[in-house]
Amino acid sequence: MSPHPSPPPHPQPDSQAAAPPFNAPAARKLRTALGMGPEHVAYGMRTSYGLPYVTPDMVNAWEHGMLAPTSPELTALAGVLWCSPGELIGTPRTLREHRTARGLAAEDVAHAVGIDLSLYLRMEETDEWRGTDRQSAALADVLDLALPDLVAVTGRETKLIELLHNAVTTRWQAYVRPTARLLPLDKRLLQDVLQEMHTDYQGRTTAGREYLDRIVDHFWTLVQRTSY
């Protein structure tokens, strides 16, 4: 078998399902640790999880980053490899990816949050969260989301970036209150963080563009540091 297989010529039955960020090296490492070959993994997914189209070549393609398994395929692969789906996922970015990483069904999340299943699935499809503050808090709880992840999956990160850009390039004091309305953070903490970010950015003679490109990362790093 070629070490770099070609992707399977036929489309996968569930090809329209969104593929989560797949951690190919982790999948290969787990399979090797179990003493399994790609053929054993493919056989297990066919016989135990009802995915008759999975072949050893497809498993190899996943492990070499040429294909990414869909959410149902990833769940089945995790079952065959005796691990949680989260162990096979890279850094989750979207609402669906966070749910898949936790090994939860959409029905479970919708019920825990108190949203009709069809509406919840539509939110996942469009990446547009429309829940209330109470439902957002419930979502963070059921998916064990840290605040930065909650902000991202509920669509508030774009607004946060805009506020932070304005805070570091103009008068930071004017953006404490808008940022506090956007995020459940203490206003005094936000004052300290925005002032430090403004000072840092204004004192730069180079790499200003790079700072702005990573401004959300700078913000959360300072929030974490200032909180302790």
Q: Per residue in 117-173, pLDDT tens? A: 999 999 988 888 989 989 999 999 999 999 999 999 988 999 999 999 999 999 999
Residue 53 CA, distance from chain mean position: 27
The 3 state secondary structure assigned to 132-156 is CHHHHHHHHHHCCCCHHHHHHHCCC
Locate 184 and state its tokens.
């459940």
Give the amino acid at 81: L
Sign of CA dihedral 49, 52, 53, 59: positive
Place of tokens 């492990």: 63
9 vs 80: which has the higher pLDDT: 80
Residue 6: its pLDDT value, please? 44
d(CA 70, CA 17): 6
Calculate ∠ Cα 72-155-76, nearest 5°. 10
Calculate ∠ Cα 195-196-198, nearest 5°. 65
- Average pLDDT of the chain, as a whole number: 88
149 pairs with which residues across the strands?
none
DSSP SS3 for 93: coil
Task: Report whether 73 contacts 27 (CB < 8 A).
Answer: no
Residue 9: its pLDDT value, please? 42
DSSP 15: T
pLDDT level of residue 14 (50, 70, 90 thresholds): very low
Q: Calculate mean pLDDT across residues 14-42.
A: 83
Which residues contact residue 132 at a Cβ distance below 8 angstroms, ignoring those fewer than 6 apart?
none
d(CA 207, CA 215): 12
Alpha-carbon distances of 10 from 22, 32, 48, 72, 139, rounded to whole Å: 21, 27, 22, 18, 37
> What is the percent of the chain with per-residue pLDDT over 70, rounded to a whole number?
91
pTM here? 0.65
Each residue's pLDDT tens digit, 85-100: 888 887 788 898 888 8
Each residue's pLDDT tens digit, 103-124: 888 999 999 999 999 999 999 8
d(CA 88, CA 131): 29
d(CA 21, CA 118): 24
